[in-house]
Chains A and B, each alone.
Chain A
Amino acid sequence: MDLHLEAISHDYGDLSVLKNISLDIHHKEIVCIVGPSGCGKSTLLRIIGGLELPTAGNVLQLGNVPADTLNPLTYIFQDFALLPWRTVKGNIALALEEHGLSAAEMDATISDVLARTKLSEFADALPRQLSGGMKQRVAIARALSVKPAIMLMDEPLSALDSQTRELLMDDLVDLWVREGFTAFYVTHNLAEAVRLGHKIVVLSRRPGEIRDIVSIDIPLNERSAFAHDLETKQKQLWDMMREEALAADQELIDG
């Protein structure tokens, strides 16, 4: 299943947040969306997943949803969004309960995704007992459990410290190499974008417009060997964003 964004614009009252965004995502591709703060990255992601209606434009699903997919467009949130009163297992079950699976199927799915995210021994822990990195792994496991066609990741690593972020980034690369998922990945961290993105969409400051789309052709699992090239890309992106970021920083919020 591919996704096509058709001339999406969005305003909050008089404030225009997104302007004329057209974009495609293809199967097994990670599209990173970067831009200065307040440029509407997260709003765009909410629009893509149907949590918010754009003022103009459409999000179109191209092709059929795979048969075993329970929830085609699945989010991973910055703040993990785990229910604190449910265990790790219970949090994953929450996403499955709605789909009328048998208890055995549900158990099988849960232990499968826990194993894939290396969480098997924490099945009965409560979120408060887990570190930030572990919580995000639970959220990733929950997302995987519904076999999404496209994952919508809203700054998934931004709430984590830099060491945990490195580890989790490696996990995501591993996961992509093994299973190849499709994802929109919103971030403000350019290093994440060049490590994980096949396509990097650079948005301008508010109202967010596409400034450029940068493609990186190096396969994800070989990127560590091309550190220099990535650094050049990252610098190129930063040069593009620098002034926008500076201007965005000096804007008054209520403007």
Chain B
Amino acid sequence: MDKAATTQTTKSIQNNAPDNFSARPVPFRGGGFQPKPIRGVAPFVFIGLIAFWEFGSQTGFISSLVLPAPSEAFQAFRELIESGMLLIHLSASMQRLLIGWICGTTLGIIVGLMIGLSSIARAGLSPLVSAIFPIPKIALLPLFIIWFGIGEGSKVATILFGTFFPTVITTYGGVDNVDRNLIRMGQSFGLSWSSIVKKIIFPGALPAILSGCRISGSIAIILLVAAEMIGAEFGIGAYILLAGSLFATDQLIAGVAILSTMGLCFAWLIGRAEKYFLNWRT
């Protein structure tokens, strides 16, 4: 019965088709606009670029005055390791970075939560934050030196101030975006104010806070070089600045590569934290 019906339809299509129209498939118009991860492309581009650079330097196509060869920069890096200075520079920088960034983001999260939760704090602090956020902290370096001394204090303070403001802004943005219905739900079950903050608002704002950490981490590395302009003897930033003033471009490139690697490591750590804390997201 079904079969008969199908054949009949097919027939009627076949009968009708040649008369006025020719049968052709509907053209496909969908697809696209969905970036997919492709493995192996990134290393290929990276290695390809460096190989081209090295080739250019070897053949004299790129003058060593303009840009040192990657092999020279690598040589400078090896010298840094062999002299044992890498560890000293790295530990000096990491200490400043970690103290500045941890204090800056912690304070930023606290102030961000305050602005997100209290109308008075919002009215009083949020214009202040908006006013100070765009000031380049480098411009304030002389003030930081007067306030916190020429030693570690002013270096840590630069990073602290630089990471504090973006964290405040992303945190209270995150708090504002927490679904109000979830908060009403918490209230309807008689949850206390502190439980609502701890169990509903903070986890709800965590995605925004973590992406704020990504930004503040990069800012911290950018400011590290600025901070180490203030009479630092050791540190990756100090090493780069010294190399720069001596026009030792091979050392400069080596130092910049170290900064970039630090940034990549930091981004990777934040990525792991996101995977761990935000596994509930789709």
Residues of A within 8 A of B (CB): 49, 51, 70-71, 73-75, 77, 79, 81, 83-86, 94-95, 97-98, 126-128, 142, 146
Q: Tell whether, in the assembled complex, residue B280 and residue A81 are in contact, meaning their CB atoms are under 8 Å apart.
A: no
Chain B stretch 162-191: residues in CB contact (< 8 A) with chain A: 179, 181-182, 184-191
| Residues in chain A near residue B185, CB distance under 8 A | 75, 77, 81
Taking CB atoms, residues of chain B closer than 8 Å to A83 are 182, 199-200, 203
- Interface size of B by CB at 8 A reads 20
For the complex, what is the distance from the CA of A186 to the CA of B278, rounded to whole Å? 34
Asked if B15 is at the interface of the complex by the 8 Å CB criterion, the answer is: no
Q: Taking the complex as formed, is B282 at the interface, i.e. its CB lies under 8 A from any CB of chain A? A: yes
Question: What residues of chain A lie closer than 8 Å to B281, measured between beta carbons?
Answer: 84, 128
Cα distance A76–B282 when bound, in Å? 24
Instruction: Give 12 pairs: A residue, B residue, CB < 8 Å, sorted on A.
Output: A51-B187, A71-B190, A77-B185, A83-B182, A84-B280, A85-B203, A95-B189, A97-B195, A98-B189, A128-B280, A142-B189, A146-B189
Least CB distance, B273 to chain A, in whole angstroms: 14
- Known A81-B181, A84-B280, A98-B195; judge A74-B188 contact (CB<8 A): yes
Check if B189 sits within 8 Å of A71, measured CB to CB: yes
Q: Check A98 against B280 for contact (C-beta < 8 Å).
A: no
Contacts of B188 in A (CB 8 A): 49, 51, 71, 73-75
Q: Contact check: which of B179, B181, B184, B192 meets A98 at CB < 8 Å?
A: B192
Instruction: For the complex formed, measure the closest distance between the CB of B174 and the CB atoms of chain A, giving whole angstroms.
Output: 14
Residues of B within 8 A of A84 (CB): 280-281
CB A65 to nearest CB in B, in angstroms, measures: 12
Complex contact A77–B181 (CB within 8 A): yes
> How far is A187 from B181 in the complex, measured between Cα atoms in Å?
18
Which label, helix, strand, loop or mixed, suits the secondary structure of the B interface? helix
Complex-state Cα separation, A81 to B281, whole angstroms: 15
- Known interface pairs A98-B190, A146-B189; 11 further A-B residue pairs with C-beta atoms within 8 A, sorted by A's residue number: A49-B188, A71-B188, A74-B188, A75-B185, A81-B184, A83-B199, A86-B280, A94-B186, A95-B189, A98-B191, A127-B280
The residues of A that contact B282 with a CB separation of less than 8 Å are 128
Interface string of B242-282 (1 = CB under 8 A from A): 00000000000000000000000000000000000010111
Q: Is the beta-carbon distance between B189 and A74 smaller than 8 angstroms?
A: yes
Bound Cα distance A71, B188 (Å): 8
State the Cβ distance, A103 to closest chain B Cβ, in Å. 17
Q: How far is the CA of A142 from the CA of B215 in the complex (A)?
A: 38
How far is it, in angstroms, between the C-alpha of A95 and the C-alpha of B199 when the chains are bound? Answer: 11
Chain A residues contacting B182 (CB-CB under 8 Å) are 81, 83
User: Please, what's the 1-or-0 string for B226-242, where 1 marks a CB less than 8 Å from any CB in chain A?
Assistant: 00000000000000000
Residues of B within 8 A of A128 (CB): 280-282
Q: Which of A51, A70, A98 has the most CB of B within 10 A?
A: A98
Chain B contacts of A127 at CB under 8 A?
280
Q: Smallest CB–CB gap between B8 and chain A, Å?
A: 34
Query: In the complex the two chains form, what is the Cα distance from A81 to B191 in whole Å?
Result: 14
Please, how many angstroms separate the alpha-carbon atoms of A42 and B195 in the complex?
26
When C-beta atoms are compared, the residue in chain B nearest to A145 turns out to be B189
Chain A residue contacts of B187, Cβ below 8 A: 51
Q: Which residue of B lies closest to A52 (CB)?
A: B184
The distance in angstroms between the C-alpha atoms of A84 and B281, with both chains bound, is 8
Mark B182-215 against chain A: 1 for CB-CB distance below 8 A, else 0: 1011111111100100011001000000000000
A-chain residues with CB within 8 Å of residue B181 when the two chains form the complex:
77, 79, 81
Contact of B199 (CB < 8 Å), options: A51, A74, A79, A94:
A94
